[in-house]
Amino acid sequence: MGQTGTIDVTSCDTPTGGRRITLAGRIDVGRVTELHRAAVKLARQAHDVVICCGAAEYLHPAVVQVVIGLGRELDAGGRRCELTGVRGPVRDDLVLLGLGHVLTGD
């Protein structure tokens, strides 16, 4: 079993002075509320969001729903939500869910 998941929100370099959400370890259903709160807060701000998944081992389907919702909300406001560093089983799961189009090429 992998490490317990962590969620970290920081500033990052984007044209809008965006925010970065870093997901690491196993982000299971127990972390969904924390991620949802961060997503709601970020959606209210005028920033792009980069979600870094390079250290993520697992994303619960409810986590994926939060990410999709954040992306839609930002897109509706003319902002961007980008997933980076998605690898291995997490990437495979997102592709199987039909979300390969939201992944960056890194």
Per-residue pLDDT at 4: 72
pTM: 0.83
Number of separate domains in the chain: 1
Neighbouring residues of 64: CB distance < 8 A, sequence distance ≥ 6? 93, 94, 97, 99
Per-residue pLDDT of 2-52, as tens digits, reads: 447 888 887 676 666 788 899 999 999 999 999 999 998 888 887 888 899
Query: Is residue 1 in a domain?
Result: no
Tokens for 12, please give them.
């990052």
| Domain that residue 12 falls in | 6-102
What phi-psi label fits residue 17: left (phi over 0), alpha (psi between -120 and 50 degrees) or beta? left
CATH number of the domain that residue 54 is part of = 3.30.750.24
Could you tell me which of 2, 3, 38 has the C-alpha nearest to residue 22?
Answer: 38
More confident of the two residues 92 and 12: 92
